[in-house]
């Protein structure tokens, strides 16, 4: 009979209510299915048996066949230890237990062949093995156990309650016995034969009880492919549904605004990457589906001009556009940059933030509703219910990871109503969502983008505009500080400005890092007034004071800006050519890269100096070496992903997707790409999975939707 894998784990022979409760709480194992998907962390190769005379002093796990010839108790500081003499034909060693001695004495038989497994220690001229795993040789040979032994995930609580690796292995054997090792195939024959994948049954068997290294590799490959294939399938289907169900306004014309800007006002020649991305956006805007595109490009790669040209297409079709940024500083900067371009084309543009005066707000609300105002830039203030557009056609969100899903969906509802667009659409006057373009300057590694943003279309600007000099980055220790200060003086004498960034605001007893106030005082001593003016900005200041200090620096009234990471995003001072990051070992890679992007915005050579103490961890060294070696944000993001792991980079809100059972999106990125490629191809030919050969896929897909909760997480 076939066993239902959704059966609660309590019903498996050898588990019972207490163990079941522990397995649920500690390992999240609720059902037979969960147990099957509890994959080993690693394997111990038990293909070899050692002779006692051949043991090496290398602290490795080994197995030895021998007999116990006697026991003795040895007194020690606290309690006693039990020692057994274990012999084979080549010599003798000791087996040692510090607890559970009564049980051991009663259950172990003298002079019977046992297989002892564990780590060896060399002490007083003799090998010993503490708390060995012991099994009668005849049992050992009978057991459903492969040469390679799986090591399952565990917790302290499980070990304390006696649920050892061996117990989990036994329970797993029981499961295979009860199910008869019969598991439903989840991939179609044609896909399996094309990729030479073993069937589901052998894959599960060989991942839990591998007969050889080769079979284990094939089993793991098959199961990793399957897991990633269904995640990609889900994401691509979501994207297809989005495109077929969610209608968007079709922007059919590329008209006067776009063309005259392109011909007469474009400040520089577009790079190939910018042209490619614009083409992708134009194709989206011209289709009848709502655009849902992520535009990623490194700091300074020219995303804003692409966003502006997309806005012009919306205006050419008689629609309004808005751009939402996470901070007031950033939205003000976008506003000044775009206002200059809008003035040349006679386009009305305004800005709305938390600090916009009430009278100005009223004016903005009115001109938005009657359509006089064409472009609105702002912060979260754009999401207020009072903000109503006459016909919003395009919404651009900058640094989107700082906005929640609920906030983004509010923008959706501000689109034009269908009745104002097409009188013949009489059924309802429901709202058509505006096209959405999401921008980020935080490069997202390709593997992560495919997994977390797999339902968005992705455009990448992967080249910098010509004429940009790449920033020179160096790592200096605290003892080089005088030289660094001399370098700062030289740059200021040339008329340049300098950022100095600190990780902390107040001294923290546990951390001996230089904090901001301390740093500010020492810099003021080395760069005294009136020859030098210094701005200071940190998160605890009032917004007005912060803005005042920022403006002094932007206008060039101060030469040095001492700050915490509040300047990470959105300050554009082309004259600032030096970024000094204090205690750089305390920052993550992406943060270091973002901070470095604050300089290098003018035509002059810019520098980034990473200051650290001599005590550096291996990870810190890797981060600093990466920063010195490359300016490529995507390469930096890949290193960051390897160092920190996926869940950490995306934050918890997206960790659902990364909660994988067997695959690892970093180590298995090639399998991920293969899985996405096949999922795409299958859906291209058969988007509803209705062809007979895809029946298995459709069935599995529906089952996953029913029993798993990983399908509800996507952006």
Domains in the chain, please, with CATH? Answer: 48-146 (2.40.50.140), 256-286+301-418+431-440 (3.40.50.300), 472-630 (3.40.50.300)
The widest CA-to-CA distance across the chain, in whole angstroms, is 99
The full 3-state SS of 38-85, as one line of letters, equals CCCCEEEECCCCECHHHCCCCCCEEEEEEEEEEEEEEECCCCEEEEEE
pLDDT at 174 over 90: yes
Are the C-beta atoms of residues 706 and 219 closer than 8 Å to each other?
Answer: no
pLDDT at 605 over 60: yes
What does the block give as tokens for 450?
Answer: 């495919």
Give 656's pLDDT tier (boundaries 50, 70, 90).
Answer: very low
Starting at the edge strand found earlier in the chain, the sheet holding 320-324 runs: 349-352, 375-378, 320-324, 392-398, 435-440, 292-297, 457-461
- pLDDT reported for residue 527: 92
Q: Is 130 helix (H, G, I), strand (E, B) or coil?
A: strand
User: What gap in Å lies between CA 450 and CA 6, rounded to an integer?
Assistant: 30
HSE value, Cβ hemisphere, 13 Å, CA-based, for 345: 28
- pLDDT reported for residue 650: 46
High-pLDDT (> 90) share of the chain, %? 45
- pLDDT reported for residue 655: 39
Q: Which residue has the higher pLDDT, 14 or 445?
A: 14
Q: Which residues pair with 535 in a beta bridge?
A: 561
Are the C-beta atoms of residues 393 and 416 closer than 8 Å to each other?
Answer: yes
- pLDDT reported for residue 579: 95
User: What gap in Å lies between CA 138 and CA 115, rounded to an integer?
Assistant: 9
What does the block give as tokens for 62?
Answer: 């080994």
pLDDT (mean) for 601-605 = 81
Give 407's pLDDT tier (boundaries 50, 70, 90).
Answer: low
User: What gap in Å lies between CA 33 and CA 3, rounded to an integer?
Assistant: 10
User: What gap in Å lies between CA 569 and CA 382, rounded to an integer?
Assistant: 20
Q: Where are the beta strands (DSSP E) in 98-131?
A: 113-123, 126-130
Least confident of 151-165, 474-488, 554-568, 652-666: 652-666
User: What gap in Å lies between CA 248 and CA 269, rounded to an integer?
Assistant: 31
User: What gap in Å lies between CA 633 and CA 631, rounded to an integer?
Assistant: 6
- pLDDT reported for residue 512: 40
Which pLDDT tens digit goes with each residue over 146-158? 567 888 998 888 8
Which pLDDT tens digit goes with each residue over 344-383? 999 999 999 988 899 999 999 999 999 999 999 999 889 8
- pLDDT reported for residue 423: 39
User: What gap in Å lies between CA 402 and CA 327, rounded to an integer?
Assistant: 10
> Roughly what angle, to the nearest 10 degrees, separates helices 303-316 and 272-286?
30
The full 3-state SS of 287-354, as one line of letters, equals CCECCEEEEEECCCCCHHHHHHHHHHHHHHCCCEEEEECCCHHHHHHHHHHHHHHHHHHCCCEEEECC
Is the pTM higher than 0.85? The answer reads no
CA distances from 203 to 209, 220, 705 (A): 10, 7, 23
- pLDDT reported for residue 239: 82
According to DSSP, the β-strands at 560-563 and 435-440 are: unpaired
pLDDT (mean) for 418-428 = 39
pLDDT at 269 over 90: no
Least confident of 53-67, 275-289, 619-633: 53-67
What does the block give as tokens for 489?
Answer: 């003086």
- pLDDT reported for residue 422: 39
Give 653's pLDDT tier (boundaries 50, 70, 90).
Answer: very low
pLDDT at 261 over 90: yes
Q: Which residue has the higher pLDDT, 447 or 162?
A: 162
Least confident of 193-197, 502-506, 633-637: 502-506
1 exposure class (CB count in 10 Å sphere: 0-12, 13-18, 19+): exposed
User: Which among 3-12, 257-266, 646-655 has the top mean pLDDT?
Assistant: 257-266
Across the chain, what does the average pLDDT equal?
A: 84
User: Which among 137-141, 420-424, 481-485, 654-658 has the top mean pLDDT?
Assistant: 481-485
């Amino acid at each position: 009979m076939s066993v239902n894998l959704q059966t609660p784990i309590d019903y498996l022979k050898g588990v019972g209510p207490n163990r079941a409760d522990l397995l649920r709480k500690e390992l999240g194992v609720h059902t037979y299915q969960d147990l099957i998907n509890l994959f080993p962390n690693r394997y111990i190769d038990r293909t070899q048996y050692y002779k006692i005379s051949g043991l090496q002093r290398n602290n490795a796990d080994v197995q030895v066949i021998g007999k116990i010839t006697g026991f003795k108790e040895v007194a020690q500081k606290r309690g006693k230890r039990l020692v057994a003499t274990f012999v084979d034909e080549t010599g003798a060693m000791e087996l040692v237990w510090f607890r559970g001695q009564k049980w051991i004495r009663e259950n172990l038989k003298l002079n019977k062949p046992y297989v002892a497994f564990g780590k060896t220690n060399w002490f007083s001229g003799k090998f010993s093995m503490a708390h060995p795993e012991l099994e009668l040789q005849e049992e050992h040979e009978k057991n459903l156990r492969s040469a390679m032994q799986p090591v399952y995930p565990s917790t302290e609580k499980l070990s304390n309650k006696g649920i050892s690796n061996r117990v989990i292995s036994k329970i797993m054997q029981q499961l295979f016995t009860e199910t008869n090792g019969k598991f439903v195939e989840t991939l179609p024959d044609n896909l399996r034969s094309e990729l030479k994948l073993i069937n589901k049954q052998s894959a599960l068997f060989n991942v839990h009880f591998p007969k050889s290294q080769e079979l284990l590799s094939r089993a793991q490959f098959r199961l990793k492919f399957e897991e990633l294939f269904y995640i990609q399938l889900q994401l691509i289907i979501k994207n297809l549904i989005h495109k077929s169900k969610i209608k968007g306004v079709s922007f059919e014309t590329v008209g006067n605004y776009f063309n005259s800007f392109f011909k007469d006002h474009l400040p520089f020649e577009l790079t190939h990457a910018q042209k490619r991305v614009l083409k992708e956006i134009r194709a989206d805007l011209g289709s009848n589906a709502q655009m849902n595109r992520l535009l990623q490009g490194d700091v300074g790669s020219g995303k804003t001009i692409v966003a502006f040209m997309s806005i012009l297409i919306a205006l050419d079709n008689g629609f309004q556009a808005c751009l939402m940024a996470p901070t007031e500083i950033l939205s003000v900067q976008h506003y000044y940059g775009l206002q200059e371009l809008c003035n040349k084309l006679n386009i009305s543009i305004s800005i709305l933030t938390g600090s916009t005066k009430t009278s100005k707000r009223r004016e903005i609300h009115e001109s938005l509703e009657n359509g006089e105002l064409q472009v609105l830039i702002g912060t979260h203030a754009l999401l207020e219910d009072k903000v109503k557009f006459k016909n919003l056609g395009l919404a651009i969100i900058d640094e989107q990871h700082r906005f929640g899903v609920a906030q983004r969906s509010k923008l959706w509802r501000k689109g034009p109503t269908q009745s104002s667009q097409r009188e013949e659409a009489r059924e309802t006057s429901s709202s058509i969502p505006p096209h959405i373009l999401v921008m980020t300057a935080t490069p997202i590694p390709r593997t992560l983008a495919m997994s977390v943003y797999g339902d968005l279309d992705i455009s990448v600007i992967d080249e910098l505009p010509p004429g940009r000099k790449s920033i020179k980055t160096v790592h200096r220790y605290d003892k080089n500080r005088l030289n660094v200060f001399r370098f700062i003086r030289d740059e200021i004498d040339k008329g340049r400005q300098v950022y100095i960034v600190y990780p902390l605001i107040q001294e923290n007893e546990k951390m001996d890092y230089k904090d901001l106030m301390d740093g500010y005082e020492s810099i003021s001593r080395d760069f005294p007034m009136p020859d030098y003016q210094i701005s200071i900005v940190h998160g605890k200041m009032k917004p007005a004071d912060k803005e005042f200090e920022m403006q002094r620096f932007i206008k060039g009234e101060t030469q040095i800006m001492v700050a915490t990471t509040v300047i990470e995003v959105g300050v554009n001072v082309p004259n600032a050519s030096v970024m000094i990051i204090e205690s750089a070992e305390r920052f993550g890679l992406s943060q270091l890269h973002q901070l470095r992007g604050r300089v290098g915005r003018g035509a002059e050579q810019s520098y980034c100096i990473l200051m650290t103490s001599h005590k550096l961890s291996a990870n810190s060294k890797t981060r600093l070496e990466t920063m010195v070696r490359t300016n490529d944000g995507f390469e930096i993001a890949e290193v960051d992903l390897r160092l920190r792991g996926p869940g950490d980079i995306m934050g918890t809100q997206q960790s659902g997707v990364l909660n994988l059972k067997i695959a690892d999106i970093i180590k298995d990125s090639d399998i991920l790409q293969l899985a996405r490629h096949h999922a795409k191809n299958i859906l291209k030919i058969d988007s509803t999975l209705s062809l007979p050969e895809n029946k298995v896929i459709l069935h599995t897909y529906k089952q996953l939707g029913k029993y798993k909760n990983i399908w509800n997480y996507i952006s």
